[in-house]
Structure 1
Amino acid sequence: MKHVGTPLQAGTPDFGAAGGDTHQPGTALRIAFIAPWNYANGLGVGARSYASAFWHTAHRVNFSPIYRPFHVHARQPLTSDVTNFDGPADIAIVNINPDGWDPLLTDAQWAVVRSARARVGAFVWELDTIPESWARFIPSLDAVWTPSRFCADAIARATDRPVHVIPHPIQVAPPPMVRAAETGVPPGKRTILYAFDGTSFLSRKRPIALVEAFAASGLGTRGWQLLLKTKNLQHAGAAGAALMAAVDADPAMGLITSTLREDQMSALVEAADIYASPHCSEGYGLTIAEAMARGKLVVATDFGGSRDFLDASCGFPVACRDVKLTKDEGPYMKGGGWAEVEIPALTEALLRAAALVEAGDMSLGTAARARIARDFSPEAVARQMNASLAAIAARSPAAASAAPSSAGTL
């Protein structure tokens, strides 16, 4: 287990009356996991990945979904609690950022959080500093889980609570049964793919940088195509319209805006030769890790959470420059820091990756798959979860004081 911040043994959590006695080391814990695992968005994928790791622990876990509407995101078919124990939890883990607790948690879920002996927030963030509201909220937790060292560093700068790096596990799966043609991939061309959600802010995802780099590379004249898989682009305003116009102007580029099932999305990644991510920041980089797990050559900005698994030994990290936001970008505050990929460097990386594909050299893709299988499998992450949960349980008292009635009261 990796952690930053104060030692795990230090301090007393500032929480209210909690159920149960101090946990005895070596026994199975009762874990309440409240998360948007029933939603079709990046947070939902991350929550489902955590659930896959929990199944490899010896703990009893109650899985509780998000019942309330979650922005514009669609619910998955199953929205129901999965119960493996009765009574208060030893540890309640809420996999929602602090600003989402009040609008998304039900009264019953708040009761689960209040009755637990220890409370953990599982957060992800994309700037080098966290919002002030987070800094006020975190002292009421016993610990924070976050999926990358980038996130951990940002959070730890604002709190003395333990911050544990628990990566999102990635399953190295066999090729999907769905055919690439069913996903809208035009046949007969080499493909560079980038997948992103329009509600995740185009200023952060920065697909226009990839459009510019692909055009500069000349790969379109060599039988390559750039595919952008997106959704919710109608919510991206002028930036979304400009992106669509740029893609429409080049016959070697295409947009896939239809909703794909998870097996179809897997087939789309499988059909690609290169996965590219020109992001300004990723709290983790799920799509990058998923492409690596499929043995793809990955070209990505060398910034954010993806640095935990993508380096020159298994892909193409691309040079970038640090920038400070000059205005608010949705939830991202003016003055916060992320990075902008260098277009010439991105162009060069695409050309180098394409040359390997054309030569039939997939050694970097093989190394990428091995990296994910070794360090980021559900089994590997379960071991990190076990170490974290044991440490949290060991330092949790039988009772404390001042549990929050809601996030807004902090």
Structure 2
Amino acid sequence: MLTQDRPIHLGSDETVSRWVWFKVWIARLIFRGSFAEWFDREMNHSGINILDSSVPSARFLTQQLLISVLRGRKSATRRLKRKVSCRSVPPCMANIEAVSSHMPSDQSESHDIVFFGLFRSPKGLGQIARSRLAALQTTGLRSARINIEGIDDYLHISGTEDVVNSDEIDNKAILFANPDIYSTLDMYTKRRFWRSKYRVGEWYWELPSLPAPWRGEASKLHEIWVASEFTRQSVAAVHTNVRIVAPAISVRLIDKLEAKRRLGLPEESFTVLTMFDLASYAARKNPLGAVQAFMDAFPLARSEQRATLVIKTHSSTVDNPTAREIRRLAALDERIVIMDSRTDQGAIDFVQSACDVFISPHRSEGFGLILAECMARGKPVIATGYSGNLEFMSAENSFLSPFRLVDVPIGAYPHAEKQVWADPDLDYFVDSLRLIYNNPALAQQRASLARENIESHFAPDVVGRAMAKAISEMGGS
């Protein structure tokens, strides 16, 4: 434990020479909850009065800098410069590169809503949080964002300003994060969000019943937003004020042949796409079902059928049974292409644009963002006819597989005891793949209806109006 007779200063030689030791201790302090006590002691030792308004947000700035240190010294400096500039630099920041003399104001009354979210994360919750900001910007409402620190928040974003620090109490605030990370939020985010007059959480869940730990968090919120009727039914069991507010879907359209050339895929081949994360709970996405459906629909023996299965994933090198089996099948069939790369929107744009059909034999979805994106690109989609994707999929605009409900296997998903999910009919996927291959006109007819549906109900301006209405109906004034 760090003690007062062994102070740590960011600019000291000891910090440089014992960098690994420093990072370990900072991590322990943060996660053991003793960070605040130590920080106050260090501020006092440095002669900084954290209540002195002439040193705005000294405590928060240094706290964020120390958290950033876990990612490396260069990152720490960049993040500090990006977050804020101030007139007075505490001694413990003396070695940080010069920052400008202006600090953006943060008066809560200048914002109609304050967003808290994983805005720099490339994953689904980060993507949806960014889409929320883009949608609201179409309405003229004034918003500000506070980024939640995450281990994969490497994306650069622009637009709505990051709020740095404030002792004001926000009128209305929305937290785009599931309750399982509430306890890991940094102290400033916790303090600011929970002091807001009207607090909204946006939750995503993929099973019929909510996890027991989430139920206690529900009582602290005035309202909960969800993306689908499927999730609304789960959340409504623990909260009386649940509102469906769909995510905004906006995609960059790229010519299919151009995308195939960019990715090195055969231009004349019928390209089937599926996407999932092998390092997560892959069973919910049912990746082996997707591979099996492709291999049954286009057997190797029928050489006249030129088809390619693209598996867009990351962490394909992880050592678990699903990943090992997919690598084995790909080694046996050169038509199976594994694209393993860090997820970013540019890569997703090209891989989705290159496909002729997207398949998702999922067992359950809270919404199904990837499916909606492919439909927005005018791609035919074959998916399980169960859960949140029914918010935008129907028999008229897509290919929905029959299913039966089965118990979730032990260990297949968190908080899944006594829960059920779908077991899709893979024969339907096989037949639909062959139908789309042999009858592209029918496939395109449904895909066109799908794109029209997404544009009509999930475009940023449409979602922005729905958000503005929901915000206007919030309490907190």
> Structure 2 length as normaliser, TM-score?
0.71
Q: What is the CA-CA distance between 1:156 and the residue it aligns to?
A: 0.8
Q: Which moved more, 1:235-244 or 1:116-125?
A: 235-244
Q: What is the CA-CA distance between 1:283 and the residue it aligns to?
A: 0.7
Q: Indicate which of 173, 177, 183 corresponds to 1:102.
A: 183
Aligned to 1:322: 405
Residue 367 of structure 2 corresponds to residue 284 of structure 1: yes
The 3-state SS of whatever aligns with 2:439 is: helix
The 3-state SS of whatever aligns with 1:198 is: coil
Question: Would the aligned equivalents of 1:138 and 1:161 in 2 still touch at CA under 8 Å?
Answer: no
Q: What is the CA-CA distance between 1:189 and the residue it aligns to?
A: 0.7
Residues 1:195 and 1:184: Cα distance change in structure 2 (over 3 Å): farther
Deviations 1:206-226, CA, capped at 9 Å, x for gaps: 110011111111266311111
Q: What is the CA-CA distance between 1:200 and the residue it aligns to?
A: 3.3
Aligned to 2:147: 65
Aligned to 1:365: 447
Residue 158 of structure 2 corresponds to residue 75 of structure 1: no
In 1, the alpha carbon distance for the partners of 2:150 and 2:249 equals: 27
Q: Indicate which of 200, 205, 216 corresponds to 1:136.
A: 216
Question: Would the aligned equivalents of 2:136 and 2:468 in 1 still touch at CA under 8 Å?
Answer: no
In 1, the alpha carbon distance for the partners of 2:312 and 2:251 equals: 21
In 2, the alpha carbon distance for the partners of 1:332 and 1:344 equals: 30
The structure having more radius of gyration, on CA atoms, is 2
How many residue pairs get aligned? The number is 363
Greater RCO (CA < 8 Å, at least 6 residues apart): 1
Q: Indicate which of 389, 400, 406 corresponds to 2:471.
A: 389
Question: Would the aligned equivalents of 2:253 and 2:353 in 1 still touch at CA under 8 Å?
Answer: no
Deviations 1:371-406, CA, capped at 9 Å, x for gaps: 10000111111122122222222xx4x6xxxxxxxx
Q: What is the CA-CA distance between 1:172 and the residue it aligns to?
A: 4.6
Deviations 1:165-191, CA, capped at 9 Å, x for gaps: 111110154327974333343333110
The code of the aligned residue for 1:170 comes to I
Aligned to 1:164: 243
Question: Would the aligned equivalents of 2:278 and 2:322 in 1 still touch at CA under 8 Å?
Answer: no
Q: Indicate which of 122, 132, 139 corresponds to 1:50.
A: 132
Residue 427 of structure 2 corresponds to residue 347 of structure 1: no
Aligned to 2:266: 186
In 1, the alpha carbon distance for the partners of 2:150 and 2:259 equals: 35
Question: Would the aligned equivalents of 2:252 and 2:349 in 1 still touch at CA under 8 Å?
Answer: no
In 2, the alpha carbon distance for the partners of 1:76 and 1:259 equals: 11
Q: Indicate which of 356, 371, 384 corresponds to 1:301.
A: 384
Structure 2 residues not aligned, in runs of 5+: 1-108
The code of the aligned residue for 2:396 comes to S
The code of the aligned residue for 2:225 comes to W
The code of the aligned residue for 1:60 comes to R
Question: Would the aligned equivalents of 1:195 and 1:230 in 2 still touch at CA under 8 Å?
Answer: yes
Aligned to 1:89: 170
Q: What is the CA-CA distance between 1:193 and the residue it aligns to?
A: 0.3
Q: How does 1:4-19 map to 2 (within 5 A)?
A: none
Question: Would the aligned equivalents of 1:32 and 1:64 in 2 still touch at CA under 8 Å?
Answer: yes
The 3-state SS of whatever aligns with 1:329 is: coil
**Overall identity of the aligned pairs, in %:** 25
In 2, the alpha carbon distance for the partners of 1:121 and 1:236 equals: 35
Q: CA RMSD in A?
A: 2.4
Residues 1:112 and 1:356: Cα distance change in structure 2 (over 3 Å): farther
In 1, the alpha carbon distance for the partners of 2:395 and 2:251 equals: 20
Structure 1 residues not aligned, in runs of 5+: 1-26, 399-410
> Structure 1 length as normaliser, TM-score?
0.82
The code of the aligned residue for 1:93 comes to I
Q: What is the CA-CA distance between 1:353 and the residue it aligns to?
A: 2.1
In 2, the alpha carbon distance for the partners of 1:142 and 1:361 equals: 44
The code of the aligned residue for 1:88 comes to I
Shift >6 Å, 4+ stretches: none
In 2, the alpha carbon distance for the partners of 1:78 and 1:258 equals: 20
